[in-house]
């Protein structure tokens, strides 16, 4: 035995230190993107199969990779200098050829990021379980435009993940032209079929406690999704934010965004409701869709325009409440036989909430118009008139 070599090493981690490291790591590998559970063999008692390592960040041996003449001994039993890691990634970080990649600073950041994530996940012990619902365009054979990791980060710490497998409703890729006359009928039929099969029945059976909704699809499809979800009260809608860093969690970091409504004139039985949130919808563009017709124009308008302006979850609630009130006012002023058309310039979250607030027995049916470069606003879908909705061209 090389006694000189043995004496050069710092002390082995004590039982207390081991317990602290395992606990902070939640028994999972701290290498980024791994998260492998490492306590299984400890539970079964088959320690010969256990491949978990407490890896030193600053090596306990001054002569080894990332060793230090003083700190190697001082920190050999310090839980802040140890990370829990699986066998393959233990070999990875100790590869002499990769020492420039796995520096002390890099490993400390891995450990910090993992432990902060564990803290966030466990910071709300009363968090409800949420099922993730993604409706998005496909990117490859299996991927969607809404990464699962981003969804999990967005719902934490308000919810815990109820199921590792999200409910996915995939539409044809964004490169497929929605100008195709069959696009919306086909995709909305697909949406309804998947909803009935994977959501409505499970909700009635009590299998779905809460839905965390992530939508990245054309606005008319998202409005229809909201309509289908209107009976499910336990739901939270999330949208993609680009600043300060891309993600789906609500930043809740901006000045309040407020919404006002403009009442249209009484008399006409044809009503256009403009939703000016991401951009202004001019009257001229609306009137161009109904040449020669007598139209009463209403509007819901935000105090700031922009795709990234809706950043506070509470502001979305204010929008939802106002939409419901405007539906009621239009019905009272124009009668139950009103012909309502909606012209949306809204974020995805507002589109879903518009559909959720609409009630078939209390609010008028409506047409959804979508802006196109070549034709202006074009009728895409009808809510509350399902037979007609399937024949729009």
Cα–Cα distance list, 161 to 30, 124, 170, 383 (Å) = 20, 13, 21, 32
Comparing 232-246, 290-304, 377-391, the range with the smallest average pLDDT is 377-391
Cα–Cα distance list, 12 to 20, 45, 59, 78, 82 (Å) = 14, 22, 11, 10, 11
Domain ranges for the chain? 3-122, 128-238, 259-389
pLDDT band at 6 (very low <50, low <70, confident <90, very high): very low
Q: What is the pLDDT of residues 21-49, one digit of tens each?
A: 999 999 999 999 888 888 876 655 555 55
Instruction: Quote the CA–CA distance of 224 and 222 in Å, as a whole number.
Output: 5
Q: Is it the case that residue 50 has pLDDT exceeding 90? A: no
Q: What is the pLDDT of residues 228-269, one digit of tens each?
A: 998 787 899 999 998 888 899 999 999 999 999 999 999 999
* pLDDT for residue 163: 80
Q: Which residues contact 149 (CB under 8 A, 6 or more apart)?
A: none
Q: What is the 3-state secondary structure (H, E, C) of the chain?
A: CCHHHHHHCCCCCCHHHHHHHHHHCCCECCCCCCCCECCHHHHHCCHHHCCEEEEECCCCCCCCCCCCCCHHHHCCCCHHHEEEEEHHHHHHHCCHHHCCCCCHHHHHHHHHHHHHHHHHHHCCCCCEEEEEEEEEEECCCCCECCCHHHHHHHHCCCEEECCCCCEEEEECCCCCCCCCCCHHHHHHHHHHHHHHHHHHHHHHCCCCCCEEEEEECCHHHHHHHHHHCCCCCCEEEECCECCCCCECCCCCCCCCCCEEEECCCCCCCEEEEEEECCCCCCHHHHHHCCCCCCEEEEEEEECCCCCCCCCCHHHHHHHHHHHHHHHHHHHHHHCCCCEEEEEEECCHHHHHHHHHHCCCCCCCCEEEEEEECCCEEEEEEEECCHHHHCCCC
pLDDT band at 110 (very low <50, low <70, confident <90, very high): very high
Q: Is it the case that residue 377 has pLDDT exceeding 90? A: yes
Hey, do 128-238 and 259-389 end up sharing a CATH topology, with the first three levels equal? yes
Instruction: Say which residue the tokens 């922009």 belong to.
Output: 306
Q: Is it the case that residue 1 has pLDDT exceeding 60? A: no
* pLDDT for residue 103: 96
Q: Is it the case that residue 221 has pLDDT exceeding 50? A: yes
Q: What is the pLDDT of residues 84-97, one digit of tens each?
A: 999 999 999 999 99
Q: Is the peptide bond before 22 cis (omega within 30 degrees of 0)?
A: no
pLDDT band at 310 (very low <50, low <70, confident <90, very high): very high
Beta strands at 376-383 and 366-372: parallel, antiparallel or unpaired: antiparallel
Distance between terminal CA atoms of the chain?
84
259-389, CATH topology level: Rossmann fold (3.40.50)
* pLDDT for residue 393: 44
Instruction: Quote the CA–CA distance of 78 and 102 in Å, as a whole number.
Output: 19
Q: Is it the case that residue 190 has pLDDT exceeding 50? A: yes
Asked: is 128-238 a CATH 3.40.50 domain? The reply is yes
Comparing 119-133, 155-169, 234-248, the range with the smallest average pLDDT is 119-133
């Amino acid at each position: 035995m090389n006694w000189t070599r043995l004496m050069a090493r710092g002390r082995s981690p004590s039982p207390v230190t081991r317990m602290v490291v395992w606990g902070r790591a939640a028994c999972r590998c701290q290498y980024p993107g791994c998260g492998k559970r490492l306590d299984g063999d400890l539970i079964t008692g088959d320690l010969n199969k256990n491949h978990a390592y407490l890896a030193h960040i600053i090596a306990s041996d001054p002569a080894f990779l990332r060793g230090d003449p003083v700190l190697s001994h001082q920190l050999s039993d310090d839980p802040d200098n140890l990370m829990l890691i699986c066998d393959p990634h233990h070999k990875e970080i100790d590869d002499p050829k990769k020492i420039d990649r796995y520096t002390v600073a890099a490993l400390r950041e891995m450990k910090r990021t993992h432990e902060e994530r564990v803290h966030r996940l466990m910071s709300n012990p009363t968090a409800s379980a949420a099922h993730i619902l993604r409706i998005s365009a496909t990117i490859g054979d299996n991927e969607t435009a809404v990464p699962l990791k981003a969804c999990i980060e967005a719902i934490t710490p308000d919810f815990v993940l109820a199921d590792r497998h999200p409910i996915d409703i995939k539409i044809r890729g964004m490169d497929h032209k929605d100008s195709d006359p069959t696009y919306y009928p086909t995709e909305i039929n697909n949406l309804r079929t998947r909803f009935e099969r994977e959501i409505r029945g499970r909700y009635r059976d009590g299998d779905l406690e809460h839905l965390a909704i992530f939508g990245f699809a054309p606005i008319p499809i998202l409005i229809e999704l909201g309509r289908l979800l209107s009976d499910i009260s336990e739901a939270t809608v999330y949208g993609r934010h680009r600043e300060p860093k891309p993600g789906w969690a609500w930043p809740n970091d901006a000045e309040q965004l407020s919404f006002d409504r403009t009442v249209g004139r009484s008399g006409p039985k044809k009503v256009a409701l403009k939703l000016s949130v991401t951009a202004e919808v001019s009257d001229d563009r609306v009137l161009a869709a109904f040449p020669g017709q007598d139209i009463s124009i209403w509007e819901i308008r935000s105090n700031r325009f922009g795709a990234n302006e809706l950043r506070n979850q509470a502001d979305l609630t204010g929008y939802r409440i106002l939409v419901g009130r405007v539906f009621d006012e239009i019905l009272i002023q124009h009668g139950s036989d009103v012909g309502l058309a909606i012209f949306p310039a809204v974020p995805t979250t507002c589109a879903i909430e518009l559909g959720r607030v609409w009630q078939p027995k209390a609010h008028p049916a409506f047409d959804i118009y979508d802006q196109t470069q070549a034709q202006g606003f074009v009728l895409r879908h009808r809510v509350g008139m399902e037979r007609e909705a399937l024949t729009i061209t």
